Amino acid sequence: MASFGRFIRLAVGACAFLLVIAASAPCNAQQVNPTASSVKEQQLLQELNRIQGRVSIPDQRSGVLEQPAGRDWREFRNVTLRWIGGIAILGIIAVMVIFYLTRGMVRLESGRSGRTIVRFTAFERFVHWMTATCFIVLAISGLNITFGRPLLLPLIGFEAFSEWSQWAKYAHIYLSFPFTIGVVLIFLMWIAGNIPNKVDVDWLKRGGGIVGHDHPPAYRFNAGQKAIYWIVVLGGGAVAVTGYALMFPFYLSGIEGMQLAQVVHSIVAVLFIAAMLAHIYIGTVGMEGAFEAMGTGEVDLNWAREHHSLWIEEEQAKGQAPSGGTPKAMPAE
């Protein structure tokens, strides 16, 4: 039986040898990819420009795995916006400086009459100044977000700049509410006088009298003022709506919506600031007799005749303005 034992050993050895060969065969056989049908990163990015899935966290925003749109937003916010803002604001300041140095203050040609007419009521002035002061603070705090880091941070250091930015940010959020109230009131108060008409076309054709000694007629608000009105109402409306979208993040939209809101908010805001700088110029340094309209509410009769002749006629017809000529001498009192 010994030969049978040897046969058995031989057979088992051969089987074991074959087993080893067979077991190593799959390594050289065709490899299987179990995730072949699954999604790939670049494919998803190309199709949807974002990758999103399911998460077990209640905050569903965490389901967005990748949103490369953030890259484009960063480019806009750091580069494009700073160019637009810089050119708009520095540009308008340059234009005003040149204008003042060449044209100078628009003077009252017939001099003061000493008699006044009410131009803006106390309520109108209240609304204007509330909106205006809020605007100044909002503009400065807003510009700090965009330009503070490159311009102010190097001057005052990290801690001071962060502290200042914190307060500026709170001021920006909370003063936006009285600002919005003001814009709405301005819209309602003055809509009647700010509908464009033919007189405005003529006023614009004559350049508003900004060059030379022309005095094109105008009603209570001339075309330039109507432009400012609509800039305030539409621009103010736009920054308010986008501002509240930014203030309550993700209440109204996903991340692309937030980025869009910031883009619109910032572009409208810097253009708004440029327009308001021009408005402030013409209402203070740019024109003699203009500031009192919002300061005391009463303007000199001659000023009104020179710049808003049709308004004066309306007021005189209503019996709310003193009629008569253009006395140069001051009445003795």
Partner 1 sequence: MARMKFLCDADRCIECNACVTACKNEHEVPWGINRRRVVTINDGKPGERSVSMACMHCTDAPCAAVCPVNCFYTTADGVVLHSKDLCIGCGYCFYACPFGAPQYPKVGNFGSRGKMDKCTFCAGGPEADGSREEYEKYGANRLAEGKLPLCAEMCSTKSLLAGDGEIIAQIYKERVMKRGYGSGAWGWKTAYHETIES
Partner 2 sequence: MKAFVAALLFAAIVAVGVSILLNTIQQPSSVAFTTDGVRVGDPGHNLIGPG
Total Cβ atoms within 10 A of residue 127: 21
Q: Which of 92, 75, 33, 105 is nearest to 273 (CA)?
A: 92
Binding residue for partner 2, selected from 50, 112, 115, 125, defined by CB under 8 A: 125
Binding residue for partner 1, selected from 194, 225, 259, 302, defined by CB under 8 A: 259
CA distance 304 to 117: 8
**Contact string (CB under 8 A) for partner 1, positions 70-109, x = contact:** xx-xx--xx-------------------------------
Binding residue for partner 1, selected from 21, 22, 28, 40, defined by CB under 8 A: 40
C-alpha distances out from residue 299 to 294, 304, 305, 313, Å? 9, 7, 10, 15
Q: Quick one: what does residue 262 bind among partner 1, partner 2, none, with the CB cut-off 5 to 8 Å set by partner type? A: partner 1
262 is an interface residue for partner 1 by CB under 8 A:
yes
> Which contacts qualify for 249-252: CB closer than 8 Å, 24 or more apart?
250/61
CA distance 176 to 170: 10
Q: Which amino acid is at 178?
A: P
54 is an interface residue for partner 2 by CB under 8 A:
no
Q: Quick one: what does residue 162 bind among partner 2, partner 1, none, with the CB cut-off 5 to 8 Å set by partner type? A: partner 1
CA distance 218 to 197: 10
Q: Quick one: what does residue 40 bind among partner 2, partner 1, none, with the CB cut-off 5 to 8 Å set by partner type? A: partner 1
CA distance 286 to 43: 60
Q: Which stretch binds partner 1 (CB under 8 A): 48-56, 207-215, 294-302, 319-327?
A: 48-56
Residues with Cβ within 8 Å of 6's Cβ and at least 6 positions away in sequence, in order, are none
**Contact string (CB under 8 A) for partner 1, positions 113-152, x = contact:** -------------------------------xxx-xx---
Give the interface with partner 1 as residue ranges (CB under 8 A).
Answer: 31-42, 44, 51-57, 59, 61-68, 70-71, 73-74, 77-78, 144-146, 148-149, 153, 158-159, 161-162, 165-166, 169-170, 172-173, 246-249, 251, 255, 258-259, 262
